[in-house]
A and B are shown apart, each in its own frame.
Chain A
Amino acid sequence: MLKINELRTGYNGGEIVHGISLEVPDEKIVAIVGGNGAGKSTLIKAITGLIPTTSGTVEFDGEKLTGLAPDKIMQKGVCLVPEGRQLFPNMTVEENLDIGSCTKEAKKHRKENLEEMFEIFPRLLERRKQLTGTLSGGEQQMVATARALMGRPKLLIMDEPSWGLAPILVNEMFQTIKMVRDRGTAVLIVEQNVGHTLAMSDWGYVIENGVVVMQDDGNRLLQDEGLKKAYLGI
């Protein structure tokens, strides 16, 4: 489904991602873990078209995404829950979800998708008319996820969705991600919560200083002594 080949990117001459290759198969959860500043978000920004790539390719369902603008990439079926949520703070929950489904294709299914989102996140139904800037962190994360799902993605990318969430909400969020996968949407997730993430992932990549240093089945990665020491503190 998503195939990244030798991708290099960065900001204004300073290269951050030094040739990363990775793959997300259909209906699987793939995790990217790694320390702060390893280049995970930079990689995600390049995949979704927010920053240009210097070399390498991003392919999605056989089509090249490299060089496309973010809105065009989204229309191919790749939706992002960005780092820090990036909601529209002065718009209501419902308006945020409407924007998530503002493309021609998604708009056709807006009503049914909205109902589905309110089923998955009943809390959002209560807060429907509230400005998202006034929501709690957990609720904001729900809006960000629902907004991305409103675009009917084939691939959902999430950049640190557990950031700033209370432990109980983190559990709920991981349940939601599994449910998204089980509905047939592939998920690429970047997380600091390494144990939890790898345990549910079909495949995991460990990124350090802009390169992939390890990759394996999620649960097998968790057994790795070096990884345990570096990320789980055991």
Chain B
Amino acid sequence: MNNIFIAILHGLILGGAYSLIAVGLSVIFGVVRIINFSHGAMLMASAFAYYELFTRFNVDPFFAMFFIAPAFFIIGFLLQKVIIRPLLIRESASVLEPTSVMLFTIGLDYAICNLYLMIYTSRYKTLNTWSYKNYFRAFDNSFVTQYSRIIAFILCFVVAFGLWFIINKTELGKRIRAVSQNRDAAALCGVDVHTTYGIAFGLGTAALAIAGAAMSSFYLVSPSVGNVFGTKSFMIVVLGGLGSIPGAIVGGMIFGLIEQVIAQFIPSTMASMLSFAVFLIVLVLMPDGLLGSRKRK
């Protein structure tokens, strides 16, 4: 089999994992207009939840996610309702961009990371699950990858479709879109804006917890793991278009492809730099990202 073809497959599979991690961030931004800088830390926190469940009770993350994701929905919802809401209300009277909320999520990121560093130390852990140990093989063994990565790839589309469906095809989704397009007008129509924000935040956080199940099954678990994927998530979401679910998928795939395909020709650190370069070029040429919609009045 052609090397490039195999590299493209690897790139798409990796891209799927990136997209899965990024899509929740995009949803939260799209609705609440908050860039959640604690995204990476929450991903890491969910990974440790899977670590505990696996090492103590031998529960596979892909099974545990059916409980962890709802738990993270509640965490995200409460985070919005209890902490972010008062900040938003206080600030909405004075400015348009919620700066204090952004600073809060940055602080939260540090707090969570250091808390986990205290508890778990900086040592890397691996979860020796079935999907971590076993490999999917195709094309006469020329394409070999962990099953967990294949599952992550599939989950990326399942989660993205689920979120897309909720937002575009349900009554709740209508309220979510209304609030994201015009907060005051939605409130005047009787929509409870802050509960809707809480639900959007919860959905994004639950999607992140599902990504955590995949990540803890193919990568390492450590307190710094959030930084690795957190920064990439921001770039992916901005590249694809803030708030756009298909954009998060396209952005993730582009990052995966650059890292895997270009790395065939140049050293992989250079390939990482190249993804930054692509990111910057796209931003200069298309400030709203690849699939971002230009804001209408």
Contacts and interface: CB of A to CB of B under 8 A. Distances in A.
The size class of the interface chain B forms with chain A is 20 to 34
Interface in B250-270: none
Interface string B169-190: 0010011011001101111111
B246 to A, nearest CB: 15
Contacts of B94: 12
A89 B297 contact: yes
Chain A contact surface mostly:
loop
Contacts of B190: 71, 74-75, 102-103, 106, 151
Nearest to B293: A90
Contacts of A69: 187, 192
B296 interface: yes
B177 A91 contact: yes
Contacts of A95: 174, 177
A198 B215 CA distance: 67
B191 interface: yes
A91 B185 CA distance: 13
Contacts of A34: none
**Secondary structure class of chain B's binding surface, majority of residues:** helix
Interface stretch (A14-22, A79-87, A113-121): A79-87
Given A88-B177, A90-B296, A71 B185 contact: no
B191 A102 contact: yes
B225 interface: no
Given A89-B297, A90-B296, A91-B178, A99 B191 contact: yes
Residue from B171, B181, B186, B193 with most neighbouring chain A CB atoms (10 Å): B181
A50 interface: yes
21 contacts: A51-B93, A71-B187, A71-B189, A71-B191, A74-B189, A75-B190, A86-B185, A88-B178, A88-B185, A89-B296, A90-B181, A90-B293, A91-B174, A91-B177, A91-B178, A91-B181, A98-B174, A102-B171, A102-B191, A103-B190, A133-B296
Interface of B: 93-94, 171, 174-175, 177-178, 181-182, 184-193, 293, 296-297
Given A52-B93, A102-B171, A102-B191, 6 more contacts: A49-B187, A69-B187, A71-B189, A95-B174, A98-B171, A147-B189
